C-alpha cells in the first residue's frame, strides 16, 4: 500500500493511544488501497510492546478455521501488545448509524463495509467501519464510522 503518510511514531508511555494511531493510519492506507483497486485483501498486523509491526495477507481460499489457526499461531509466537485486522465484511445497518424514523432498512439489514479492528492486550478494542457505496462506474467509501467494540 503506497501512501504519502509514513508509519506513526510509537509512544511507549501511551501504548494504547499509539496502537489507536497505528489503526487510524492503517485505516487510511486501507481506504486508499480500496479506492485504487476497488477491493481490499484480508490482512492482519501484530504490534509489539515497542511498536514494531509484523503482518500478512490472508489467502482468500482459506476458510475461517484456517485463518483463525494462522492468526492464533502467530499471536502465540509473537505475543503482541495489539492486533489490527482489516477485511471486507457485512455489517448490520444498526451498527452504522442511529435509527432513523425515515429509514426503510430493518435491524437485520446488512451493508458491505471495509472494516479495521484494533484490539490490545489490555482489552481496548475499537472499530473503523467504512461503508462501501456503489456509484455509477465504481465503488466509493462513505465517511468512516468509529465505534468501541465488544466483540
Domain-embedded: residue 8: no
Q: How long a stretch of residues is the chain?
A: 151
Per-residue pLDDT of the chain (151 residues; tens, 9 = 90+): 334 558 999 999 999 999 999 999 999 999 999 999 999 999 999 999 999 999 999 998 999 999 999 999 999 999 999 999 999 999 987 767 644 444 444 445 889 999 999 999 999 999 999 999 999 899 999 999 999 875 4
Domain-embedded: residue 70: yes
Tell the residue number behind the cell numbers 462501501, with chain if given. 132
Q: Which domain holds residue 83?
A: 15-148
Can you give the pLDDT at residue 150?
Answer: 57
Can you give the pLDDT at residue 100?
Answer: 44
Beta bridge partner(s), residue 98:
none
Looking at the structure of the chain, the number of domains it has is 1
Cell of 69: 489457526
Domain-embedded: residue 80: yes
Domain-embedded: residue 6: no
Cell of 90: 457485512
> Cβ of 118: how many Cβ atoms within 10 Å?
24
Domain-embedded: residue 3: no
Cβ–Cβ under 8 Å, residues 97 and 71: no
Domain-embedded: residue 9: no
Instruction: Produce one character per residue of 54-70: b if its CB has 16 or more CB atoms within 10 Å, e if not.
Output: eeeebeeeeeeeeeeee
Can you give the pLDDT at residue 110?
Answer: 85
Amino acid at each position: 500500500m503506497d501512501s504519502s503518510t509514513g508509519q506513526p511514531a510509537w509512544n511507549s508511555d501511551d501504548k494504547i493511544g499509539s496502537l489507536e494511531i497505528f489503526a487510524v493510519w492503517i485505516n487510511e492506507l486501507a481506504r486508499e488501497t480500496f479506492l485504487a483497486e476497488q477491493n481490499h485483501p484480508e490482512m492482519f498486523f501484530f504490534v509489539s510492546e515497542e511498536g514494531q509491526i509484523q503482518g500478512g495477507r490472508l489467502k482468500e481460499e482459506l476458510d475461517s478455521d484456517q485463518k483463525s489457526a494462522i492468526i492464533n499461531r502467530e499471536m502465540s509466537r509473537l505475543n503482541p501488545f495489539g492486533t489490527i485486522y482489516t477485511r471486507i465484511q457485512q455489517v448490520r445497518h444498526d451498527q452504522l448509524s442511529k435509527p432513523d424514523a425515515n429509514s426503510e432498512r430493518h435491524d437485520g439489514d446488512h451493508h458491505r463495509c471495509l472494516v479495521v479492528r484494533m484490539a490490545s492486550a489490555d482489552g481496548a478494542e475499537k472499530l473503523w467501519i467504512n461503508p462501501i457505496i456503489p456509484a455509477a462506474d465504481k465503488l466509493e467509501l462513505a465517511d468512516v464510522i468509529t465505534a468501541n467494540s465488544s466483540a
